[in-house]
Amino acid sequence: MASNNVSPKNFHIFGKGISFSVSPIIHNEAFKHCGLPFKYTIRESDNIDEVAELIKDNAFGGASVTMPHKLQVHKFCDEQTETAKLIGAINTLVVKGEGSERTIIGDNTDWSGLYGIIAAHSTKMQQRPKVGLVIGAGGASRAALYAMHKAGMEDIYLVNRTLATAEKVRDDFGSAFDIKVVPGLSDLPKELDVVIGTVPAETTNEDQFASLFGKQGLCIDMSYKPRQTPLLTVAQRLQGWDTVSGVEVLLAQAFDQFSLWTGLDAPKDVMTEAILALDREGAAKAKGGMGML
């Protein structure tokens, strides 16, 4: 539990189109459980510059950063972790020190959350995955690619609607590890062990993924609106594939964020229950609404 001399702090999520974010529910429940005088709110903006005053405020404790700001928020960082620099995307702002000693650090917990999920799957299967595919080439894809690299995968493929964008991501990682860019999902020469989707689910359909999966593996979709995505639906029809939803990915990286912000172990059960309670509430409302028809 927190000590009584902890100062109140404001935490936020920065991004565009994030009114549906469940991050405030996850983190506020964790703060409450640990007795911390912290508050986490949604701050939506078209441009990262619009939240500059929040970051400069002495009461600013840290932030989650989502698209389209992951690639621009570095301008407000005094430091970046080596991992964030390599990935080229920041999803977490961490504040260290006070007053003139105050330092804002840019970090990335998207990759570490994904790495933990892949590692758990490897332990379950008692073998290390060798071939991975990332779908999409935005900020989230960079974390997914790096997580695959850290998990020791030998062949990492990247596919994106715009080939030049995927090639830029490949080249950015060129000094660290190899990425093979393919023009489309039908151009994969090897059977996949891990598939990670990083594009908005509403831009996809089940037909795109019909022939993507082999005998067994792990399918992760970082998109969580809707919770049940076309990518996950296709993978779940196959007996040998484990699936991980975007909400599970969100929780995994949120655990790491909480620890970075507070120095405490994340109350994982509390944070997970916050999401489950939200789902139960939504299901109850839907059922009630149907009864009124």
Helices and strands (H, E) in the chain, number of each type:
9, 12
Q: Fold match between 9-108 and 111-248?
A: yes
CA angle at residue 109 from 31 to 200, to 5 degrees? 100
The CATH number of 111-248 is 3.40.50.720
Long-range contacts of 161-167 (CB under 8 A, 24+ apart): 162/137, 165/137, 166/137
Look at residue 99 in the predicted model and tell me its pLDDT. Answer: 82
Looking at residue 98, its pLDDT comes to: 85
Structure token digits, residue 187: 């151009």
Give CA angle at 104 (100, 107), nearest 5°.
160
Mean pLDDT of 216-230: 90
| Pairwise CA distance, residues 194 & 134, whole Å | 9
pLDDT over 90, % of the chain:
76
Report, as an integer, the average pLDDT of 137-144.
Answer: 90
Distance from C-alpha of 156 to C-alpha of 245, rounded to nearest angstrom: 21
Residue 221: both structure tokens together = 């979709």
Q: With 90 as the cut, is the pLDDT of residue 245 above it?
A: yes
Would you state the pLDDT for residue 290? 41
For 9-108, CATH gives 3.40.50.10860
Cα gap 209→186, rounded to integer Å: 9
Q: Is the pLDDT confidence value at 293 over 50?
A: no
28-85 pLDDT per residue, tens: 999 999 999 999 999 999 999 999 999 999 999 999 998 889 889 999 999 999 999 9
In this structure, what is the dihedral angle of CA atoms 186, 192, 195, 201, given to the nearest 10 degrees?
Answer: 30
* Rounded (to 5) percent helix, strand, coil in the chain: 45, 20, 35
Strand partners, 13: 42, 64
Q: DSSP alpha helices (H): ranges in 151-267?
A: 163-172, 230-236, 246-262
pLDDT tens for 16-36 read 988 888 999 999 999 999 999
Which element (helix H / strand E) includes 38?
Answer: strand 38-44
Would you say residue 182 has pLDDT above 70?
yes
3-state secondary structure of 24: helix
pLDDT interval class at 287 (50, 70, 90): low
* Averaged pLDDT for residues 136-151: 93
Per-residue confidence band for 288, with pLDDT thresholds at 50, 70 and 90: low
Report which secondary-structure segment, H or E, holds 79: strand 79-80
Query: From the CB of residue 265, how many other CB atoms can be counted at a distance below 10 Å?
Result: 10
- pLDDT value at residue 243: 96
DSSP secondary structure code for residue 4 in this structure: T
Angle of CA points 122, 110, 172, to nearest 5°: 100
How confident is the model over 248-253, as a mean pLDDT?
A: 93
Sorted by where each begins, the domain ranges of the chain are 9-108, 111-248
The Cα–Cα gap between 133 and 179 comes to: 10
Helical ranges in the chain per DSSP H: 23-33, 52-56, 82-87, 110-125, 139-150, 163-172, 230-236, 246-262, 268-291
